[in-house]
Chain A
Amino acid sequence: MNASQPSRSDAVEVRDLVVRYGAATALDSVSLRVAPGEMVALVGPNGAGKSTLVNTLTGILTPASGSVVVRARIAQVPEGRQMFGDLTVDDNLRLGAWQLRGRGKSRRKQRDTSWVYELLPDLVRVRDRKAGGLSGGQQQMVAVGRALMSRPEVLVIDELSLGLAPLIVADLAEHLTELNREQGTAVVLIEQNARLALDLCSRAYVLEAGRIAAEGDSADLAASPDIARAYLGEAQGLPSPPDAQGAPGPDAPGPDDRATADPVPTPGTVKTGRGNQDTAVQAARATTREAK
């Protein structure tokens, strides 16, 4: 495992980061790295400091000590989607490019939203609607599109699945892997739904009470009994029959490529329990609350 060996080519490098809110320590000597083009998950319970870490990466919060080096353009999909509710979808997207300071022709190109609609075609229908009136899934797409408008090399997503229906989460996840594959955009995915995050990303960090409790390849983490017990549910770890993994049910758009990448833990670590054929979709269903 080379997760803890930083290199100068890393897009994001965090060392011994400490962040405080007044007297409370939100992050306590956290170290983390993201290589270019990599998908990294950051999982952990509520209040572990995940959003604090994100806001420090993007410069909204300032660290008390430690270092944050960002060697790439970074954009954030904030928790709760954070629409400009009384502006249109297209205006929301254009404001994503606010920091790009082109002049004349290059400026017009920077503010051109058409490529985002190609990537997220569901947004075409609603481009002139007020963002505040959209469904949760549509808003999450706008939030992703808005972040993409700044042409990031690293996309930080704070809670992709929160409050969204499982099918919509699966669809969004599909778009993310596509984006990562085709444009080489690195993704840092912050998730309470650990199963979803470990399925999507190749490497993961587990944050607990402001400290990194575990890190490594997603497959190894998913196979670890401690992690499985704490984050993937008691029953997790039972080797699923292969057909159950590939067949999530008639209502789910086939997330086959992810499902086959599902880590199948060794039988030795298995806890007893009800049979569990989690796919990303079903995991999402179990832990998300429906919105709107």
Chain B
Amino acid sequence: MSDFLVYLITGLGTGCGIALIGSGLVLVHRVTRVVNFAQGTFAVVGGLTAISLLDTGLPHGLAEVLGVAVAAVVGLLFGMIAIGRRGTSPQAALMVTLGLGILAYAVEVMLWGDQGRSSEGLSGAVTVFGARIQTHYLLIIGVTMAVFAAMAALFGRTDAGKALSACSSNPYAARVVGISVTRMGLIAFAVGGALGGLAGVLLAPMNSVAFDSDVALIINGFAAAVVGSMHHIGRTLAGALFLGVAEAMVAGYGSATYQTVVALGLVLALMIGQAARTHSVVAEAG
């Protein structure tokens, strides 16, 4: 029982990291229709920046905030390159983000080397029902829930959120009513960068961060975002938490070697099931 609780909380923590990556993907796609494959890069940049700043003696909190800020700036920069030129198609922009992600490898290796680094997270642990749970996991879960609540409120209740959605819903109409589509897209990229950076900063104490850590992050984050149809915030969160918990359970009760494969297999099964259900409803309606 206590093992199960530990796996569950660890899984939820990992899932929250995945959810933050997924939310960045959804945000950027919802505004620009671009699948931003550099989303994992933001996490690496944010995480490594925070670790370096902590090494120079900066206190916890400040270092993490600066890490997130640097990731946001990188996000804005990537956005300017990917969608800054008017008339760039979302498909072309996708390739640009992929290329920027690979280019970033070189810069990251130059700055931080090719070895994984880690930071100290929130120390201490609490005991729940006989299970020792690291406080840091609770921090991750809390921060992620706050971020998702804020995003849901932004898109669901505010005019700014509606205007962001309007940009991908109908870019031409958005321009007609005076919404600057490019500026909105750049805002989305910057916030997406911050969300990625937040994931990196929060995950750094649990897993070491290296230049190529983005691959695992983007694969999982993308799977979660696809569960949310690249659009729905809540379903993306659910998909990410499911992935995180499934991976922790497989690693805990089985072998860590298979954790990603099994978890992604489950998501695939889930999506096929979902598609089959939608299809049968359509067939009935027709």
- The smallest beta-carbon distance between A58 and chain B, in angstroms, is 7
Within 8 A of B (CB), among A52-77: 58, 60, 76
Contact A94 B172 (CB under 8 A): no
**B173 close to chain A: CB less than 8 A:** yes
A86 to B155, CA, bound (A): 12
Within 8 A of A (CB), among B136-189: 159, 162-163, 165-166, 169-170, 172-179
Contact A146 B165 (CB under 8 A): no
**A210 close to chain B: CB less than 8 A:** no
Q: B179: nearest residue on chain A (CB-CB)?
A: A98
Q: Is the interface of A mostly helix, strand, loop or mixed?
A: loop
A91 to B156, CA, bound (A): 10
* Chain A positions 108 through 152: 1 when the CB is less than 8 Å from some CB of chain B, otherwise 0: 000100000000000000000000000000000000001000100
Q: A111: nearest residue on chain B (CB-CB)?
A: B159
**Which listed residue (A76, A78, A87) contacts B166, Cβ 8 A?**
A87
* Chain A positions 74 through 91: 1 when the CB is less than 8 Å from some CB of chain B, otherwise 0: 001010001111110001
Residue pairs across A and B with CB atoms within 8 Å: the count is 49
Q: Is the interface of B mostly helix, strand, loop or mixed?
A: helix
Contact B173 A83 (CB under 8 A): yes
Contact A87 B159 (CB under 8 A): no
Contact A95 B172 (CB under 8 A): no
Specify which chain A residues have a CB less than 8 angstroms from the CB of B177 in the assembled complex: 95-96, 98-99, 146, 150
- The smallest beta-carbon distance between B4 and chain A, in angstroms, is 40
Specify which chain A residues have a CB less than 8 angstroms from the CB of B176 in the assembled complex: 58, 60, 76, 78, 82
Contact B175 A84 (CB under 8 A): no
Contact A150 B178 (CB under 8 A): yes
**Which listed residue (A85, A94, A98) contacts B178, Cβ 8 A?**
A98
- The smallest beta-carbon distance between A52 and chain B, in angstroms, is 14
Contact A95 B170 (CB under 8 A): no
Contact B178 A84 (CB under 8 A): no
Specify which chain A residues have a CB less than 8 angstroms from the CB of B175 in the assembled complex: 60
Residue among A83, A91, A111 with most chain B CB within 10 A: A91
Q: A107: nearest residue on chain B (CB-CB)?
A: B159
Specify which chain B residues have a CB less than 8 angstroms from the CB of A99 in the assembled complex: 177-178
Given known A-B contacts A82-B173, A82-B176, A94 and B159 have beta carbons under 8 A apart: yes
Specify which chain A residues have a CB less than 8 angstroms from the CB of B173 in the assembled complex: 78, 82-84
Within 8 A of B (CB), among A262-291: none
A-to-B contact residues, CB < 8 Å: 58, 60, 76, 78, 82-87, 91, 94-96, 98-99, 111, 146, 150
B-to-A contact residues, CB < 8 Å: 159, 162-163, 165-166, 169-170, 172-179
